[in-house]
Amino acid sequence: MKIVTHSHRHAQAILENVGEYQPIWQGLQTALANISDEKLIAHFQENYEGQTKQTKSISKSINKLIELELGAKRPSDPTLDEENDWIAESQIFGESDYGFNEWRLDFARKVMVQDLDILGESKAVEAGISIEVAFNNAGSAAWNLVKPVIASELNHVKKNIQTSIGIVIAATEAFKKTGGFDSTVGTYEHYLKMLVPMRDLISVPILVIGLEAPETFVIEQTVINGKKYGSVKRTI
């Protein structure tokens, strides 16, 4: 997939210049680039296309393919290496009272940063990365931006992974139109607008990534008995 990016509080410069972040950022770019139109089509048709599925958009396939390309593992996976793997559906907090869905990140990864100049630290610190894949309602955009802040700022509840930088992945307006997304979904462009009035609240570096529309297909929706079903229509 092709992407566009917007950097809040120098997020992209940090990802590109802090030694410990560089290979992780390069790996994320590679993972997104590897999600080809053909992979999206195959995954959607195998898992979601058809009247019994009632899936309107390509969003579920994107989420799953990002997870697969990152090699992310669930917290319950016995092969999980917490020091080197992306963790899918990672809890923000390490206390059981805060284990419900509202306090989860789509993906998180621990990073111990030794290259400290850009972070203004005097010793090695845990400075992980959080990712939110944001295909939900535009009304949730503020919360999707705040979650990486909560995961990064110090507070009175012990963190599961202490992060220092967040990444939000959203569809561009062009992809929203061709990917079968609901009209209320928040887009890359919407997130950029949200960052303006929320600048002082979003106190940590956040990179917003916009997914460009596929070049060879669109998702068409058919209404059957009042329900919408998505299907792939090739344009090339």
Q: Which of 2, 22, 3 is nearest to 12 (CA)?
A: 22
Asked whether 17 and 220 are in contact (CB, 8 A), the reply is no
Residue 186 has pLDDT above 90, yes or no: yes
pLDDT tens digit sequence for 49-65: 986 777 999 999 999 99
Cα–Cα separations (whole angstroms), residue 73 to 36, 125, 129, 131: 22, 24, 15, 14
Average pLDDT over residues 185-196: 97
Provide the pLDDT confidence category of residue 155 given band limits of 50, 70 and 90.
confident
Per-residue pLDDT, averaged over 181-201, amounts to: 96
CB atoms within 10 A of CB 100: 9
- Residue 123 confidence (pLDDT) above 60: no
* Pairwise CA distance, residues 212 & 4, whole Å: 7
The C-alpha atoms of residue 190 and residue 183 are separated, in whole angstroms, by 13
120 pLDDT more than 80: no
Q: What percent of the chain has pLDDT over 90?
A: 78
pLDDT at 114: 79
* Tokens describing residue 209: 């990534």
Residue 95 DSSP label: S
Q: Tell me: the pLDDT tens digits for 218-231?
A: 999 998 888 889 99
The domains located in the chain, with CATH, are: 3-234 (3.40.91.20)
Q: What is the mean pLDDT of the chain?
A: 92
